[in-house]
Amino acid sequence: MRSRLVWLVIALFGISGVAEAGSSWQEEWERVLKGAKQEGKVAVSGPEGNETMTVLTQPFQKKYGIRVEFHGATGRELSPRILTERRAGHYLWDVYVHGTTTALAAMIPAEAFDPLEPALILPEVKESKYWRGGGLEFIEPGRRLAVMTPAQRATLFVNTKLVDAKVLRSYKDLLDPKWKGKIVMDDPRRSGPGQATFTFFYLHPELGPDYIRALARQEPLMLRDYAQEIDALGQGKYHILIGTWEVPVEARIRQGVPVAIVSPQQLREGSDLSPVNGNTALYNRAPHPNAARLYLNWLLSKEGQTEFSRALGYISSRLDVSSDHSPWRVPLKGSIKTYTPEAMELKDKFVVPLLREVFGR
């Protein structure tokens, strides 16, 4: 009888503890939601592009009735603007959604972000069982930058009227003399998808520095504007494009422009694994702290990740978000990661100097 009473007490306290834990996050959520509605706005800095702006504003606004002020820019443009504002004492932004290079090279060294985990509230966001790899991925010790969408990155693009994409089975195929003077690429000497692609070339054991030197002898045209790069390909001025941003390419494909992505699955060396612009962080000294937490939890939820990944063709790290919309982006086992601090260190120390050597300054 005594043992049954002991177990009854334990059970009651256990149930009470669970109830308190459940009500704890719910109470915090209601408090943050109320504060966010009073603030009335959240300011989000993200990548350029209409699709990106739409998915990072409209679903959240519709769900919560809180306005999203959105600033879209390339990483090259974003960090100078925001860091200039902060040096002048203007803290205008709440949530960062952008690339790892911009964050690791500029924002984190400037101490622009807060640790992210204290802002997490929803169990479906905090619990490891919902995430590929056993938890939300952070790529630096301060755990300030979360990686939402690590996936295979598109690195090669062709004009479908001039090139059958299926004939390209390896990056070494680009060294064929018939492609000399017919290749355009995103300038790899500065940060961006072109540089990430050449970092992948450098790190891959079957490619490396010798491959980069050989590719340079094919006399590729280097451009610094994604639209110009895609236009040069789509208009047939060049046959092959290396390392541009894939989102505007997919937009042109939907418009009927004769361009195609070469699937990493058909290339012997694959492609690098990258979240592209699928990373998030919280700016410190945020002007709308409650709305910032609300937005972050929404973005990392199943609902937010479904909206984000489908709109941009990304593959979410959430296990409960479908990847059917972009099966070629599903991570391949053993793929090289070009977004880690270690890869970035190698890039700065070895890759960029090599690129300046072979392509000039």
- Alpha-carbon gap, residue 217 to 231, rounded angstroms: 23
Q: Where are the domain boundaries for CATH 3.40.190.10 in the chain? A: 2-151+276-329, 154-271+340-359
User: Residue 282: what pLDDT?
Assistant: 98
> By the 8 A CB rule, do 248 and 276 touch?
no
Residue 247 CB coordination number (10 Å): 21
Per-residue pLDDT of 63-99, as tens digits, reads 999 999 999 998 889 999 999 999 999 999 999 999 9
pLDDT at 38: 98
Say what the pTM is.
0.78
Q: What pLDDT is stored for residue 94 in this prediction?
A: 98
Residue 57 exposed, middle or buried by CB count within 10 Å (0-12, 13-18, 19+): middle
Closest to 266 (Cα-Cα) out of 197, 199, 178, 332:
332
pLDDT at 5: 42
Report the distance separating Cα 167 and Cα 29, nearest Å. 53
The residue ranges of the chain whose pLDDT is under 70 are 1-23
- Of 330, 166, 158, 172, nearest to 261 by C-alpha is 158
- pLDDT per position as a tens digit, 263-315: 999 999 999 999 989 999 999 999 999 999 999 999 999 999 999 999 988 99
Q: Tell me, what DSSP letter sits at residue 28?
A: H
Homologous superfamily assigned to 2-151+276-329 = Periplasmic binding protein-like II (3.40.190.10)
Q: What is the CATH number of domain 154-271+340-359?
A: 3.40.190.10
Q: Are 328 and 265 in contact (CB under 8 A)?
A: yes
